[in-house]
Amino acid sequence: MLDLRQPLHTSRLIVRAFRAGDAGDLHAYLSDPQTYIFEPGAPITSEEAAAMAADLATSPHFWAVEVAATGRQIGQIYLKQVEPLEHLTCELGYILNPAYQRQGYAAEAATAVVAHAFAERGIHRIYAHCNPENVASWKLLERIGFRREGLLRQNVFFRRDAAGAPLWTDTLVYARLAEE
């Protein structure tokens, strides 16, 4: 499916659909083990990045974050409407290249995507899940106006220990409503 969404322009960024040409910039952060401390998955090769960029370019759920001044693609925002669709609810996620973190880029990009979802797509509620130890993630959510709604105890695991047992983790639930 071709995604014909319009790019979102912020003061420093262009938040837009992915392109196959993002493969190199995508590889720069998805090959970095630091990206996966609180995320499922493992570092990818440049061949895998090329396939993934082509794949993301056809996805309506992923937004590429580009620095307007340089054209570098430095991260991604995920926003997907969940079932049942009549609940008008989306899940939010994000990854920023470690070299570009702590400069307000994730907050700037996520704010634009969230505002677009509420204003242009009629979304009612957006939620995000993160590990309580992922301070960068929940600080980002608080920065962009999400409220902490609760803590799910050991509801998920992304990895197993050497004996194959799940490494269960807790999940913080954050959300923001259109009216907020």
- Shortest Å distance, C-beta 142 to ligand COA: 7
Report the interface residues with ligand COA, using CB under 6 A: 35, 38-39, 94-96, 101-107, 130, 134-137, 139-140, 143
Distance CA 114, CA 10 (A): 13
Distance CA 37, CA 33 (A): 7
- Shortest Å distance, C-beta 163 to ligand COA: 26
- Shortest Å distance, C-beta 94 to ligand COA: 4
Structural contact between residues 44 and 24, judged by C-beta atoms closer than 8 angstroms: no
> Distance from first CA to last CA of the chain, Å, rounded?
32
